[in-house]
Amino acid sequence: MIIPDGYSDVPAGKIAAVVTHLEMTAPPAHRADPRGSWSLRKVDAPALDWYRDLHRRVGEEWLWFSRARMSDAELAAIIHAPGVEIYALAMDGRDEGLLELDFREPGQCELVYFGVTASLIGRGAARFLMNRALEIAWSRDLRRVWVHTCTFDHPSAVAFYQRSGFRPFRRQIEIADDPRLDGTAPRDVAKHVPIIE
């Protein structure tokens, strides 16, 4: 569906974001790791409570709501699927970053979820995590790595992905029920996205 030029009303109780899809079709130039005491570990068959907690701590402020709305069975079917890999960025013995890679499409890798907790934003942890993500992805026989982000995300997200070697190729509008109105997310998160009831 094509939305005409100009303004389009978004119904009360809904949120609307501009989604930008980005891709790379060859390994990017190497970027040096920032200094920090982070480590990355693969989490095989992640426990659902662990995953939900880390996903919430990383993404709640940016309105990552789709996984929060899933039943345990729906979530397990995705994160335990062959070809889906979950990694945690750890600092001082605590998991503070989430990386989810989906290799199920032959020749491709999607960075499904990527982020660090608020305490690590701006400290180089995301650069470290991206370096590891791209090393893991391009160690496989791929022709494409891709990711999408939206206007609910950190304001530097698109620029960060572009500095990492991704290029934008598609833009969409996503409209959904506001997760702060149905209890999926607390009402006081994502103050950069006003609630309209």
Strands 14-24 and 84-91: unpaired
- Strands of 167-177's sheet in order across: 38-42, 84-91, 94-102, 108-116, 144-150, 14-24, 167-177
In order of their start, the domains of the chain are 14-27+36-176 (3.40.630.30)
pLDDT tens column, 178-189: 999 999 999 999
Question: Which one-letter DSSP state was computed for residue 102?
Answer: E
Residue 172: closest CA among 20, 8, 7, 66 = 20
pLDDT of 57 over the 70 cut: yes
pLDDT tens column, 116-167: 999 999 999 999 999 999 999 999 999 999 999 999 999 999 999 999 999 9
Q: Give the whole-number percent of the chain exceeding pLDDT 90.
A: 93
Single-letter amino acid, residue 79? I
φ, ψ (nearest 5 deg) of residue 61: -65, -20
pLDDT at 1: 64
φ, ψ (nearest 5 deg) of residue 100: -125, 120
DSSP, residue by residue, 83-94: TEEEEEEEETTE
**How far is 164 from 127, CA to CA, in rounded Å?**
8
pLDDT at 30: 86
CA distances from 180 to 13, 55, 194, 196, 197 (A): 9, 16, 10, 10, 10
**How far is 24 from 151, CA to CA, in rounded Å?**
21
pLDDT tens column, 70-84: 999 999 999 999 999
Question: Looking at the chain, how many residues does it have?
Answer: 197
